[in-house]
Structure 1
Amino acid sequence: MQIQVFADRNVGGGAIAQDATDTIAAVLDRFADHLTRVEAHITDVNGHKGGSEDKKCTLEARPKGQPPVATTHRAATVEDAYTGAADSMAHLLDSKFGRLHHAKGGESIRHLVAD
């Protein structure tokens, strides 16, 4: 799984990109075999003006053989923005891959032996 981080000039530079890469890799590590690439776009919505929840991270993941999926998270700090986006992506991928691997008609509670 390749992780690319793009940050606008109002957010910062290399240090933020490396921290974001490390955090996203840690959160999405269990999906590494299913993903080819993850792109993070980190922006400061208001630029130099400031404001609450003006940092935004859009995360796009590309599952193998499937269309890309994306999540967005807005927060007061850059760290909260990319961590929130990564957590949202993990939840989305849990749902997506869970549905792919659990076919209808599986085990039913009706077949359990009563104690």
Structure 2
Amino acid sequence: MKVQVNTSNDIDNQDALERWASDYLNEQLARFDQDLTSIEVQLSDENHAAKGGGVDKRCTLEARVNGRAPVAVTNYAPNQDLAIRGATDKLMHALDHTFGKLDRREHRVRDTIRRDPEVIEQLVPPQS
């Protein structure tokens, strides 16, 4: 899944941050890989880097869902790491909720071993 990181001017180490965020989000959201096309990350420092303290780092994650409206969440934290991790947790919860509703109503098309004839043969012995 494609991860795009956008930051305000106050955020440092953008290249390293992009690599880390991409790896982290792909790992954490791997179970939704079939359903998501991309994740957009917006990081900003709400009171600018010169001022210190407080819960001033904001991370907004927007997941682009196949055939559906995007799902977006925002998290505030004292540093970038906690902001991204908190937003990722919120996004996973929102996606669980969204896809849980779809599973109950529309039965999404997903890869499953339940329909694979080879797996069925291994699990169910032939009857004589």
TM-score range, shorter chain: 0.7 to 0.9
Question: Shift of the alpha carbon at 1:16?
Answer: 1.4
Matching residue's letter, 2:97: S
Question: Shift of the alpha carbon at 1:34?
Answer: 0.1
Q: Which residue of 1 aligns with 2:45?
A: 44
Between 36-45 and 11-20, report the one with greater CA deviation. Answer: 11-20
Q: Which residue of 2 aligns with 1:6?
A: 6
**TM-score, with normalisation over the residues of structure 2?**
0.77
Identity of aligned residues (%): 40
Question: Shift of the alpha carbon at 1:27?
Answer: 1.2
Q: Which residue of 2 aligns with 1:106?
A: none
Between 84-93 and 18-27, report the one with greater CA deviation. Answer: 18-27
**What CA RMSD, in Å, does the superposition of the two structures yield over aligned residues?**
1.4
Q: Which residue of 2 aligns with 1:78?
A: 80
Q: Which residue of 1 aligns with 2:65?
A: 63
Question: Which string of whole-angstrom CA distances, capped at 9 and with x for unpartnered residues, describes residues 16-63 of structure 1?
Answer: 121111111111111010011110001111112122111110000110
Could you tell me which runs of 5 or more consecutive residues in structure 1 were left unpaired when the two chains were aligned. 104-115
* 2:33 counterpart of 1:32: yes
Q: Secondary structure at the match of 1:52?
A: coil
Which one has a bigger Cα radius of gyration?
Answer: 2
Could you tell me which runs of 5 or more consecutive residues in structure 2 were left unpaired when the two chains were aligned. 106-128
Aligned length: 104
Equivalent of residue 98 in structure 1, options 97, 100, 103: 100
Matching residue's letter, 1:101: D
**TM-score, with normalisation over the residues of structure 1?**
0.85
Moved over 2 A (4+): none
Matching residue's letter, 2:6: F
Q: Which residue of 2 aligns with 1:88?
A: 90
Q: Secondary structure at the match of 1:42?
A: strand
Inter-partner Cα distance in structure 2 for 1:30 and 1:71: 18
